[in-house]
Amino acid sequence: NDLILLAAKACQRAYKKNTDLGSMEYALTIEDYHGVPFQILAMPGSNEFLDWVWNFTLLSWDGVKLCSYLAVKRVWQAVKNDIDPTMPLLVVGHSKAGPDALRWKQKYGADFCVALCPPPAFRPWKKVNLKDTAIVIDPDDVVPLAGTLSFNHPTTDTLVHLPREKAWYDPSRIGSDHVIDHIVQYFQGKVNLSKLEG
């Protein structure tokens, strides 16, 4: 829970202060986690019109959505010389960038990975199993369901389902439960550890 909260807060800050790569943004920071310095690579979700276009593209490369494949490659080129290999690395992504964090873990590795409300982005026939990885899904959020006919989520060792709070027909569920602030607020005080599934 603490690690997910740390990741969510870093991603929340990355929405406000980041390095812009066009249709992709990121923030690489060093945070303290129980006295241990951590590098956090935070990738916020859709911020620009081109992001939304990419969200609905069903093309893939190497078994992952093309937008995630290209975004991770671009971020890697931007930060590969800034990452300290002697310090733990936590990679986090929210929304469109959730699959980017998962792809980063798959391709380049990280000590920990957190994907917050990610849309499915991995082809079903490409079996991806990621250790030390958490996916957080809010059942009131439609984004983690988008594209499930063509893509799915990888298998991870931690899957967190937040509690359902709204009826399926409630129009506020389309966006209000998806924003990063909602996720941060949840993990700051409302988390129910019985919802954690291995």
Q: pLDDT tens, 158-196? A: 988 887 776 666 666 555 566 788 888 888 885 444 444
Q: How far is CA 145 from CA 95, 140, 142, 152, 174, in A?
A: 11, 10, 6, 9, 12
The per-residue pLDDT of the chain, averaged, comes to 85
pTM of the predicted structure, to 2 decimals? 0.87
pLDDT at 27 over 90: yes
Kindly report, residue by residue over 102-149, the tens digit of the pLDDT. 999 999 999 999 999 998 999 988 889 999 999 998 877 777 666 667
For range 6-22, the mean pLDDT:
91
Kindly report, residue by residue over 150-164, the tens digit of the pLDDT. 898 999 999 888 877
Whole-number pLDDT of residue 60? 86
Asked if residue 121 lies in contact with residue 145, where contact means CB atoms within 8 angstroms, the answer is no
